[in-house]
Chain A
Amino acid sequence: MSDTDPNSPSPTAPETDSRDARPDRRDFLLRLGIGAGVVAVGAQGAASLRALVPNVSYDAPTTVKLGAAREFPDGLKFLPDQRLYVFREGNTYHAISAVCTHLGCTVRAEALSQPETREVGGSALRLTHRFACPCHGSTYSGDGVNSSGPAPRPLAWYRLSVAPDDGQLVVDLADEVDRDFRLTLA
């Protein structure tokens, strides 16, 4: 303390230099501060938003056992939990989704007064029903093809299989198949 003279000019920089440098340093610090603030707020905002996107889904599994195949009635059965229609004709099975392709309401099946047989995906299919949607009035023919109303696509068909362990009918709701799909049991 005692060995420096407070009145002597600073040895590090001449006076004119320090006067020029000061606004620069201040400016730099100001920008640094603003930048840090923006980054901090931005990162926190991004983190908060990211936290709203779930990493784990507790949705129901997509592969579901539906019960013994031979217990399905001939014709159609509605499975509300899977929003699915399962059709049986003798020993062939197929499954059509009940989720309307327009905006996701559950379509209803209406029995046709006169069952008809139609060529669907290369093989003959007996159509006993058609589908209608209560939300905006889309209708689908018995093979799930949209016939009127705002529905843009046919109803989805899902893959059916037989569980190897107990022989139950299994649907894979993540596996859409073409309309020529048939599960034929021996």
Chain B
Amino acid sequence: MAFALKRTPSTPSAPGVHPQALWSYRPQSDREAGDAIVSNLLLHWFPAKVYKPSLDWTYSFWLGTASAALFFLLILSGLPLLFLYVPSVERAYASVKDIEYVVTFGWWIRAVHRISAHLMVVAVALHLVRVFLTAAYRNGIGRSQRREWNWVLGVVMLLLTLFLSFTGYLLPWDQLAYWAVTVGTNIASSIPYVGPQMRELMIGGREIEQATLIRFYVLHCIMLPGALGVLFAYHMWRVRKDGGLAKADREALLPLPRVEPATPTKTYTLLGVARGTAPAITSSSLEVPGASVNAVPDLTRRAIIVTLGTFALVSILASLIASPLEEPANPLVTPNPAKAPWYFLWLQEIVTDTTIKLRSFTINGAFIGGVILPGLLVGVLTAWPWLDRTSADVVGVWFARERRRQTLVFLAVLLAILALTIVGTYLRGPYWNFYWPWEAWPEIPARI
């Protein structure tokens, strides 16, 4: 067994020196459990001890971990694709077709990449919903906490995730891709004054061409994942600095159940957290024995379960769901109807409905629905921790009574987005006409 260690308690020669190179998956003592964290590069993110209820499956649903696992899986499955895909207008479509039909297991790698991307949008969005509903963007104990900044970081990371998905959407250079990018970049150009220049910068010219493909390719493979990786590392570090999940804050605020007698022998080494030798200053109920558990193995075990579970789910879905590949991009013919990827369908629905006409004065729906409304939404979301004026008692509590009103508003917005997505997905036929799914697919009038 690679993880096997001698079972006798180790005695480090000096504080901070850890005689064991490997860590035990089943530590025999608190000290060994603590040692594991310090001696392992990956585990040094984690605290030695975690507040037990914050590991509950039903508190966080481990959505952040699942998002991270998906991001990792995307990088993993993206690597072989980097070798196989050719970012050229002439060859992109054929190379994706080769990946799909010629390369051994190419279809599976592509499916894994594609499904992880979709699931990551879902997981990151749900993670944000969870954090909002538990008010985890608020500082509970306040001491050097900056949870609100981690929330802002999270919003930025959600946007990056969406852009990553969207930039990947263009790369196969099929009809779906071409028209999604046409519409997407035209939304940018609907901004007064600077819009057209912004569009030109995005697509590298006036037409969607080679320059566009290579720009989106570099964004998709280097810039956006790089930015997301850096922010992710910072996000994790902040979680650690803020004292773990918000649920732990709440516990710190609760009155002490009983006072512990002082421990006779104290140690102030880094790992003095080991029970029995810690300084007997029990400042909060968090430090009551039993309130927290060793990160190894309680936290690591769950993290591994979530990660492997995510991988398994993606692998299974990838073998069941085929990745679509439309006809090659054709700038001359727009598919009918031309639909955005599902996570942008609500926006497509909004840009359809928000063109404002006041006699001779018209504002393009692209500007209102594509720029102003989403901009406002992101703005309000970002500023929310400073707008929320409820007391610190709500931190880490699902659907806290005190926040009932904002919870309802948030859920209403969420429901609206969901409803618009459903309308866009199921109730829009040719020419974006409304129809009921049980009706026959409307006849498309003969084309010239």
Q: Which residues of A contact B (CB under 8 A)?
A: 52-54, 57-60, 76, 78, 80-81, 83, 101-106, 108-111, 129, 132-137, 139, 149-153
B336 in complex: contacting residue of A52, A134, A151, CB < 8 Å? A134
B351 CB to nearest A CB, Å: 6
User: Does A150 contact B431, Cβ atoms closer than 8 Å?
Assistant: no
Q: Would you call B423 an interface residue if the criterion is a C-beta within 8 Å of the partner chain's C-beta atoms?
A: no
User: Does B207 contact A109, Cβ atoms closer than 8 Å?
Assistant: no
List chain A residues, Cβ under 8 A from B338. Answer: 105, 134-135
Pick 10 A–B contacts, CB within 8 A, sort by A: A52-B201, A102-B351, A102-B364, A105-B179, A106-B333, A111-B445, A133-B432, A135-B348, A150-B354, A152-B363
Q: Mark B355-388, 1 if CB is under 8 A from A, else 0.
A: 1010000111110000000000000000000000
Say which one of B18-26, B88-96, B180-188, B411-419 lies at the interface with A: B180-188
User: Does B431 contact A132, Cβ atoms closer than 8 Å?
Assistant: yes
List chain B residues, Cβ under 8 A from A139. Answer: 431
A63 CB to nearest B CB, Å: 15
User: Does A150 contact B336, Cβ atoms closer than 8 Å?
Assistant: no
User: Does B335 contact A134, Cβ atoms closer than 8 Å?
Assistant: yes
- In Å, the complex CA distance between A58 and B338 comes to 28
User: Does A134 contact B362, Cβ atoms closer than 8 Å?
Assistant: no
User: Does B355 contact A134, Cβ atoms closer than 8 Å?
Assistant: no
- In Å, the complex CA distance between A168 and B75 comes to 55
- In Å, the complex CA distance between A60 and B209 comes to 11
List chain B residues, Cβ under 8 A from A152. Answer: 355, 357, 362-365
Q: Mark B165-191, 1 if CB is under 8 A from A, else 0.
A: 000000000000001001100110010
User: Does A54 contact B332, Cβ atoms closer than 8 Å?
Assistant: no
Assuming the contacts A134-B338, A136-B348, A150-B354, asked whether A59 and B207 have C-beta atoms less than 8 A apart, the reply is yes
Residues of chain B from 198 to 250 with CB closer than 8 A to chain A in the complex:
200-201, 204-207, 209, 211, 215
- In Å, the complex CA distance between A60 and B190 comes to 23
- In Å, the complex CA distance between A102 and B204 comes to 21
Residue of A nearest to B357 (CB): A152
User: Does A78 contact B431, Cβ atoms closer than 8 Å?
Assistant: no
Q: Mark B328-361, 1 if CB is under 8 A from A, else 0.
A: 0001111111100000000010011111010000
Q: Would you call B144 an interface residue if the criterion is a C-beta within 8 Å of the partner chain's C-beta atoms?
A: no
User: Does A54 contact B446, Cβ atoms closer than 8 Å?
Assistant: no
Q: A134-B334, A150-B364 are in contact. List 16 more A-B contacts (CB 8 A).
A: A54-B200, A54-B205, A60-B207, A102-B364, A105-B179, A106-B332, A108-B447, A110-B446, A110-B447, A129-B448, A133-B431, A135-B348, A136-B432, A137-B433, A150-B365, A152-B355
User: Does A135 contact B334, Cβ atoms closer than 8 Å?
Assistant: yes
Q: Would you call B53 an interface residue if the criterion is a C-beta within 8 Å of the partner chain's C-beta atoms?
A: no
List chain A residues, Cβ under 8 A from B337. Answer: 134-135
Q: Would you call B430 an interface residue if the criterion is a C-beta within 8 Å of the partner chain's C-beta atoms?
A: yes
B331 CB to nearest A CB, Å: 8
Question: Looking at B179, B204, B334, B336, which has the most chain A CB atoms within 10 Å of its CB?
Answer: B334
- In Å, the complex CA distance between A137 and B428 comes to 10
B348 CB to nearest A CB, Å: 7
What is the total number of residues of chain B having a CB less than 8 Å from a CB of chain A? 43
User: Does B332 contact A149, Cβ atoms closer than 8 Å?
Assistant: no
User: Does A136 contact B351, Cβ atoms closer than 8 Å?
Assistant: yes
List chain B residues, Cβ under 8 A from A110. Answer: 445-447
Q: Mark B118-162, 1 if CB is under 8 A from A, else 0.
A: 000000000000000000000000000000000000000000000
List chain A residues, Cβ under 8 A from B445. Answer: 110-111
List chain A residues, Cβ under 8 A from B182. Answer: 103-105
- In Å, the complex CA distance between A83 and B333 comes to 9
- In Å, the complex CA distance between A129 and B143 comes to 70
User: Does A53 contact B200, Cβ atoms closer than 8 Å?
Assistant: yes
List chain A residues, Cβ under 8 A from B446. Answer: 110-111
User: Does A134 contact B432, Cβ atoms closer than 8 Å?
Assistant: yes
User: Does B205 contact A59, Cβ atoms closer than 8 Å?
Assistant: yes
A103 in complex: contacting residue of B206, B333, B366, CB < 8 Å? B366
User: Does A150 contact B332, Cβ atoms closer than 8 Å?
Assistant: no
List chain A residues, Cβ under 8 A from B363. Answer: 152
- In Å, the complex CA distance between A111 and B209 comes to 32
User: Does B187 contact A135, Cβ atoms closer than 8 Å?
Assistant: no
- In Å, the complex CA distance between A103 and B199 comes to 12
Assuming the contacts A106-B333, A136-B348, asked whether A153 and B431 have C-beta atoms less than 8 A apart, the reply is no
B426 CB to nearest A CB, Å: 16
Assuming the contacts A83-B332, A135-B338, asked whether A105 and B448 have C-beta atoms less than 8 A apart, the reply is no
A108 in complex: contacting residue of B205, B209, B336, B365, CB < 8 Å? B336
List chain B residues, Cβ under 8 A from A103. Answer: 182-183, 186-187, 190, 351, 366
User: Does B207 contact A134, Cβ atoms closer than 8 Å?
Assistant: no
- In Å, the complex CA distance between A83 and B334 comes to 11
List chain A residues, Cβ under 8 A from B352. Answer: 136-137, 149-150
List chain B residues, Cβ under 8 A from A101. Answer: 364
User: Does A109 contact B448, Cβ atoms closer than 8 Å?
Assistant: yes
User: Does A53 contact B351, Cβ atoms closer than 8 Å?
Assistant: no
List chain B residues, Cβ under 8 A from A134. Answer: 334-338, 430-432
- In Å, the complex CA distance between A57 and B200 comes to 11
Question: Looking at B336, B348, B432, which has the most chain A CB atoms within 10 Å of its CB?
Answer: B432
Residue of A nearest to B363 (CB): A152
Residue of A nearest to B368 (CB): A150
